[in-house]
Structure formats: C-alpha cells, structure tokens
Amino acid sequence: MVLCPIPKRAIFVWMNEKPVHWGMIGCGDVTERKSAPSFNKIPGSRLVAVGSRTPEKAEDYARRHGIAAWHREPARVIHDPDVDIVYIATPPGSHREYALESIRAGKPVYIEKPMARTSEECREINEAAGKAGVPVYVAYYRRALKYFTKVKEIVEQGQLGRILQISMQQHFPAREEDYGRARPPWRVIPEISGGGYLHDMGCHALDILFYIFGDPVCATGTTANLGGLYDVADTAGAFLTLPGSLQVTASWSFVTPEPFRKDQVEVTGERGKLIFSIFSFDPVRLVTDQGEAAFSPAPPEHIQMPLIRSIVDELNGRGSCPSTGMTGAVTSRVMDQITGIL
C-alpha cells in the first residue's frame, strides 16, 4: 500500500527575533521532567501559562513551577495574548481539537506524540496549518537526541555499505496498571489514545526508523490480543518497505515476561551490522570486519530539550525542527496500516 503524499510544510518565522512564550495545555507526568522544564532553560524561551480541564491541577502546577498564569479551561491558554506557541500535552483524544483551535488563532503548536488518534485527524491538522501558514511540531524527540543522530551519521557515512535488512523487536512486560481491567489505563482506551501501546510506544520506534532511513514506501501488519488484560491489541507485527527496497520486519509485544524483555534494532549491511535500542539507550554497537566499536551518547536530563530548542531556533529563523506535522502524520499513517484502519 503506497502512502499518500503530504502537503509541504508551512513557513513561519517571527518578524524579528524575540523570546518565545509558551502556553501549555495539560500538566501530566510527561511535563514534569521530560518537556516543560526545558521551556525556561533554553535562552529566549519561557513558559508563561498552563491550563487544564481540571483547574486545580493547573493551579497546583503553576504554583509549583513558578508559572505566571494558569487557566481553568484549555481554550484560555490558546487565546492568552501572552502566549506565542501552544504545547498540547494531553492524551491524543484531544490533540485535534486543541491543535485546530490554536491554528485558527494563528499560533504554532507543539503536539505530544502520537500526533493524533488517526492519520485522518493528522491530515485535518496539517491541512488547516497549511492554509493558515502556521507550523506544527510533534514530540518525536528522538530525532534530536545525540544517540540517534549518531546512528544516522553511521548509516549516512556508508560504514555499513549498502543496507540489506532491518529487524526491530520491542518486547516489554505488562505494566501493573494493565491488570486493572475494571479501570484500564487511558493508553489502552482507543477513544483517548487512538489504540494501545503500539500507539503510545511503538510510534517512537517507527518514527526514528523513518528519520534515519527514509519514509516508508509501503507497510502492512497484523495485531493480536494475547494477554487478555484489556480490549485492544497487545501484540503486533509489521513488514515495511523503505526507500531503496529496504525491507524491515518489526514486532511488538507488551505482555512479554520480564526475563525475555527485548528492545533492539539490528541493521545488516554488506560491510557490517549496527545494533541499537529505542528506549533503553544501550550502547550503539557497530560490528564490521575491522572489529567492534561502541558509542554511548547519554540522553539529556530533560529528554525533549534538544527538540524544543530546535523549535525555538526555527521560529527565530536560526534553524529547523526535524519533527513536524508532516513527519508525524507519516508515523500515524503507518500505525493505521499496521492495525488495519487503512
């Protein structure tokens, strides 16, 4: 199945370089360490407002983090005159709603991954952004981490020669909260998350593959529910074709016993093999006939900080962000193909 072309991204920069003021919708765990602290640590960037559908959470977050304003409703963050760009840090079920309202207000958006529940919702966001000339960014932050840029560098320098095959395995144990069938976690409720852990975690693996090796030409897959802990699939397999007829086989399991946990991507080329992980940041291993080398670029304290810095730079005309609404939509489209929506 061939992927449909995506419209070119909008071009948007400030008229003059100025501080970037962020407004944040949602104040869950991802914001405490992974993302939000970066807004105030990057020069020329400041988090000035936060809002939530649960007002007391927004008030508490603002108090604890010294944020100037908090709002009882997410829409008030979007329309706050002090806010330049909106960070949508909510579950995917509300991404489309908040992104479209921000775009109508003429404000760029930074959306947590996955970009939306479905590729159709991504298309709506990108079409609106294209018409309005407003940029969209997506929190596939691995694209800006030194660990993965090192992998990309090795591949692009031709150290493996022609790439022959890629195998990816992500096998993780069930989480404690997965056993509460009466009150399942939001990540396995499709109306909120778009699917299950494939959407929540597998999306990172797919996106970084596409960043390193190019957007897929076609994708097929199957899913199953083997653990029976919740209603959506906990197991998936996929076969992808990337540019140059490069074949990828991938498998995900989110009910694997702990002793058999595995997080590995293996890239085989004519001159060697490259092995790396997606979540565990195991040393990147390069094996050739010259021997073996290992690289261990450590992730930053705030893992989204390099990507957020690239957004600030792009808005001020100093660079570009590698994760946009256009690239995020590709990953969502492939997940739809794997799960049979497309």
Angle value at C-alpha 246, between 240 and 251, nearest 5 degrees = 35
335: in domain: no
pLDDT number for residue 6: 36
Same domain, 200 and 176: yes
Q: What is the mean pLDDT for each group of 10 consecutive residues in the chain (342 residues)?
A: 37 64 96 96 97 95 96 96 98 98 98 98 98 98 98 97 97 96 95 97 98 98 98 98 97 98 98 97 96 96 98 95 98 97 88
pLDDT number for residue 8: 41
Q: Total structural domains in the chain?
A: 2
- CATH code where residue 294 lies: 3.30.360.10
AA letter at 30? V
Q: Max Cα separation, the chain?
A: 61
Same domain, 151 and 288: yes
Going from the C-alpha of 127 to that of each of 63, 114, 269, the distances in angstroms are 37, 17, 38
Same domain, 317 and 237: no
pLDDT number for residue 342: 86
Same domain, 174 and 251: yes
339: in domain: no
Show the domain range for 96. Answer: 20-141+303-324
Contact 339, 195 (CB under 8 A): yes
Same domain, 73 and 88: yes
pLDDT number for residue 18: 79
pLDDT number for residue 12: 58
Same domain, 194 and 107: no
Same domain, 171 and 65: no
Same domain, 177 and 272: yes
3: in domain: no
pLDDT number for residue 58: 96
